[in-house]
Amino acid sequence: MGEFLEKISPLKSAKKLGAVLIQLPPSFTVREFQNTEEFLDRLPSGYDYAIEFRNPSWNTEGPWEMLKHYGIAAVMTDSPEQDNLQFLSQAVVTANHSFIRWHGRQIKPRYNYLYSKEELRPWVDKVRQLSNETAVVRGYFNNHYGARAVVNAIEFKEMLGTLLSEKEKAVMENARNLFFQTSRQSTLDTSLK
């Protein structure tokens, strides 16, 4: 970990480094609690860390208390229902910063998903709540195919009350038109088969 942090130290020096994400594999269960705690105990100080649990077995009280002890943000996610990670969509504060990842809601192909505004709307209140409880709220759209993440990030920014630049408005309009045309052509191709 020390070597990795050394390599990203220019980002920290330039104040361009957010939180360091520790993403556990889906196979990593709560049975690894002690190993996880030993790892967290060895993390160098001076960085914001966030940990993303990706197995439903972590849905117990212990992990949140552990993260609070170390001041590490619990990553909140919006993931496909089949992942059984709905508990991670709750606004849980375990550090002085928050971390959210929107992964999309379909399994195949993974991360190829465009959120509707209705799907994002519940997150507006969660982000506002988190901004009252933590110094920094970091949100990352991971539904990245075909710039879907960019479109959803701009839309979400607007939903939070930020005025969009003309360039951002143009990006959204062009992307939405492209997604609509692609979806329409795909539907047409399927119906002709």
User: pLDDT tens for residues 75-107?
Assistant: 999 999 999 999 999 999 999 999 999 999 998
Q: Kindly state whether residue 27 falls inside one of the protein's structural domains.
A: yes
Split into its structural domains, the chain has a count of: 1
Reply yes or no on whether the pLDDT at 48 is more than 50: yes
Q: Kindly state whether residue 193 falls inside one of the protein's structural domains.
A: no
What predicted TM-score, i.e. pTM, was given to this entire model? 0.88
Residues of the domain holding 49:
2-147
Look up residue 58 and give its DSSP letter: G
Q: Kindly state whether residue 96 falls inside one of the protein's structural domains.
A: yes
Q: Kindly state whether residue 130 falls inside one of the protein's structural domains.
A: yes
Q: What angle do CA 9, 11, 16 make, to 5 degrees?
A: 145
Q: Kindly state whether residue 183 falls inside one of the protein's structural domains.
A: no
Q: Kindly state whether residue 189 falls inside one of the protein's structural domains.
A: no
Contact 57, 30 (CB under 8 A): yes
Contact 50, 73 (CB under 8 A): yes
CATH number for the domain harbouring residue 52: 3.20.20.410
Q: Kindly state whether residue 75 falls inside one of the protein's structural domains.
A: yes
Can you tell me which residue has the tokens 């539907």?
187
Q: Kindly state whether residue 163 falls inside one of the protein's structural domains.
A: no
Task: Describe the crossing of helices 148-159 and 117-133 by its angle, rounded to 10 degrees.
Answer: 60
Average pLDDT over residues 37-58: 96
Predicted confidence band at 183 (pLDDT cuts at 50, 70, 90)? low
Predicted confidence band at 147 (pLDDT cuts at 50, 70, 90)? confident
